Amino acid sequence: MDNYLSINLIYASASILLTVISLSLNASGAPGNWIMLVIVVAYASLISSDAPYGIGVIVIILVLVFAIFGEVLEFITGAISTRKAGGSKRGMWFSVFGSVVGSFAGIFIGVPIPIIGSLIAALLFSGAGALLGAYYGERVEGKSSREAWKIGISSFVGRVLGSIFKILCGLIALICMVIAMLL
């Protein structure tokens, strides 16, 4: 029985570690919450729900709900902030493209400070990419530089807030998973 418990504990620990890593991917704009869902489904298929550290279907559903909610919040926050500042569809799409490019640049620029540096840089550079992308898109639309900067700054704020909301949704999903394992 002790061997059974230790194997389950190893699986649970590895699963938690992988979900924490996937949660941190959200800062770079990667689909961390969706990776977390895959990990939870794989873990639930390995460990019976009535076994020690097992999780049930309810946890899988909760992780799915929080993954969807995080994506919706991230998108809506970015889109609303750009539109509220008077941004165009072109500016919004360039903002999305800029945030993706910025997050990858941030990952590499933040490398000198292991893990945390890359995550913070990815988050900030993602926002900066959104700002520059929105600025460029609005300039192409013919808006003045001042107005394009205003929209770009709004895109920056929306992107960073959206990422924070997505990370928080992933954190809540992770907490639900850990609590289910312990109960």
Number of CB atoms found within 10 A of residue 61's CB: 11
Helices (DSSP H) in 113-144: which residue ranges? 116-140
Q: How far apart are CA 68 and CA 49, in angstroms?
A: 24
pLDDT tens, the chain, 183 aa long? 556 667 888 888 999 999 999 988 887 777 889 999 999 999 999 888 888 888 989 999 999 999 999 988 888 887 788 888 888 888 888 988 888 888 878 777 776 666 667 777 888 888 899 899 999 999 999 999 999 999 999 999 998 898 899 999 999 999 999 999 888
What pLDDT shows up at residue 84?
A: 86
130, 78 contact by CB (below 8 A): yes
Task: Specify the residue for token string 């893990």.
Answer: 115
What pLDDT shows up at residue 17?
A: 94
